[in-house]
Amino acid sequence: MKKQLENSMRGVFFLAALTSILAVLLICIFLFANGIPAMGKIGLFQFLLGKKWTPSDVPPSFGILPMILGSVYVTAGAIAVGVPVGLLTAIFMSRFCPKKLYRILKPGIELLAGIPSVVYGFFGLMVIVPQVRSLLGGTGNSILTASILLGIMILPTVIGVSEAALRAVPEQYYDSAVAMGASHERAIFRVVLPAARSGVMAAVVLGVGRAIGETMAVIMVAGNQARMPAGILKGIRTLTANIVLEMGYAAELHREALIAAGVILFVFILIINLVFSILKRRGLNGSH
């Protein structure tokens, strides 16, 4: 009876894994089947390197380089804001935070993860945009504003995964470093943190994925201007925002071009995951 139960559960788990793989394959087939023909009609280099996105013109222009650069700049800014703050917070919570304070901080950070994107967008629109406008000038709807907001949004992911990675490091690492004369801070930053490198890298990857895929909050604070980035205080449009804003009324080649932009976004995320996987593997080999 026990063996039959184990075999049946093994079958259930296998079916669940196949379902996940099938879902990914179906998404890939849909994207590539609808997006690649559009790239052929427009021209691959004209599509990727074109600086104008004017689907209503005659003839229309479908260049997504401004949106690609906008996505890259906003994601890089979010990493610059969110990763250092999130990692230092995770170190504090795992190694420095008093238990009473931890009981307050931990639920608060988990609550941040559950806030809807549109609420973050309202916060950015009503708080961050006016502050940037008054302190630095411009309209406030800019790359900088979107980067700050996305940096805040990825904090729960970076903190949660990094903290788990730091707590997973065997306590003997810390004890050995202290026994050899290292201070508390030195043992954490020189021994515990490098030992948790794999988990920290995973936190960064998840944070990057959240930043790239975010749409609603970015639409509300980034300015949504389909033009080449002209500075951190100027507005831009990301790939995800471009798809969401125009898919509702797009038709024919315009619609196909938006799906092709989704293909580029999909490939972009795959490349980022691949690069981080290579870096993580090299880091693990180097640590050995």
Report residue 115: phi and psi, to 5°.
Answer: -75, 130
Counting beta carbons within 10 angstroms of the beta carbon of residue 21, is it exposed (0 to 12), middle (13 to 18) or buried (19 or more)?
Answer: exposed
Walk along the chain (288 residues) and give the pLDDT tens digit of each residue: 677 888 888 888 989 989 989 998 998 888 888 888 888 888 888 888 888 888 887 788 888 899 999 888 999 999 999 999 999 999 999 988 888 899 988 998 888 888 888 899 999 999 999 999 998 888 888 899 999 999 999 999 999 999 999 998 888 888 888 888 888 888 888 888 888 888 888 888 888 888 888 888 888 888 888 888 888 888 888 888 888 888 888 788 889 899 999 888 888 888 877 877 776 676 555 554
Model pLDDT, residue 215: 81
Instruction: Report how far residue 270's alpha carbon sits from residue 196's, in angstroms, rounded to the nearest whole number.
Output: 24
The upper half-sphere exposure of residue 70, i.e. CA atoms within 13 Å in the direction of its Cβ, equals 35
Cα gap 198→180, rounded to integer Å: 25
Domain ranges of the chain: 2-54, 66-287
- Give the side-chain half-sphere CA count within 13 A for 268: 21
Q: Classify 64 as helix, strand or coil.
A: coil
Q: What Rg, from alpha-carbon coordinates, does the chain have?
A: 23
pLDDT of residue 284: 54
Matching CATH number, 66-287, of 3.30.1330.10, 3.30.70.100, 1.20.1300.10, 1.10.3720.10: 1.10.3720.10
How many Å apart are CA 263 and CA 276, to the nearest integer?
20
How far is Cα 145 from Cα 127, in angstroms, rounded to an integer?
A: 10
In sequence order, the 6+-apart residues with CB closer than 8 A to the CB of 132 are 138, 140, 142, 144, 145, 148, 233
> 236 forms bridges with which residues in the sheet?
223
The pLDDT value given to residue 285? 55
